[in-house]
Amino acid sequence: MKKLIIVTAPSGAGKTTIVQHLLRTFDTLAFSVSATNRARRPREIDGKDYYFLSDSDFNQRIKQNDFLEYEEVYAAQYYGTLKQELERLWDLGKTIIFDVDVKGATNIKKAYPLDSLAIFIQPPSEAVLMERLKGRKTETPESLKKRIARAKEELTYHNKFDCVIVNDVLDNALQHAEQLVGAFLHTTITPQEDYITHNHC
């Protein structure tokens, strides 16, 4: 059975921390590496953090219908999930876990409605999220402004996914995520049976 776990959230809500914990906890999971045309940052590794593509390569992949989903997250800055990445991981017998933005998560869920568990990581409040973003001190004032505006929009997507985890106390959020993923991994889904993950929230 090919299964997918989609973890999504506004930037700063803690989704990457939760995804990394789940990868350490469940050895059947494998991380889906996204493609992007943005410049590689120091210490990032091509093929591990992202597949770094040139603008022309990314556009060519779009024309060839190579993406399951893609989006212009910021002006002229694209991110997407290559179909070949899913096949690569499924060929290894893995359940794929995604760390993606809310629009990408919506599109993946739409493509695999019965075979996926989509979890939205919600901060305890918008104010807390804004403080987390400002506290990173990794953004220019202009990029921080864009990230905050995007985060506010993304908070409105929480009801589009199977389950919401409020990341207030991290240990509780990690435990909640473990329970959800554990239940999903041990559930058989058939075309006639829609897995209602809200029952496990």
Where do the structural domains in the chain lie, given as residue ranges? 4-200
Looking at CATH, the fold of the domain delimited by 4-200 is given as: Rossmann fold (3.40.50)
pLDDT at residue number 137: 65
Instruction: Give the phi and the psi of residue 26 in degrees, each rounded to 5.
Output: -115, 115
Q: 148, 185 in Cβ contact below 8 A?
A: no
Give the Cα-Cα-Cα angle 47, 50, 56 (nearest 5 degrees): 100
Pairing between β-strand 29-31 and β-strand 77-82 as defined by DSSP bridges: unpaired
Q: What is the pTM of this model?
A: 0.84
Q: Report DSSP state, residue 5.
A: E
Contacts of 190 (CB under 8 A, 6+ apart): none
Q: 31, 16 in Cβ contact below 8 A?
A: no
**Tens digit of pLDDT per residue, the chain (201 long)?**
799 999 999 887 889 999 999 999 999 999 999 999 999 999 999 999 999 999 999 999 999 999 999 999 888 999 999 999 999 999 999 999 999 999 999 999 999 999 999 999 998 887 777 777 777 666 677 777 777 777 788 888 888 999 999 999 999 999 999 999 999 998 654 443 444 444 446
Contacts of 132 (CB under 8 A, 6+ apart): 12, 13, 123
Q: 41, 196 in Cβ contact below 8 A?
A: no
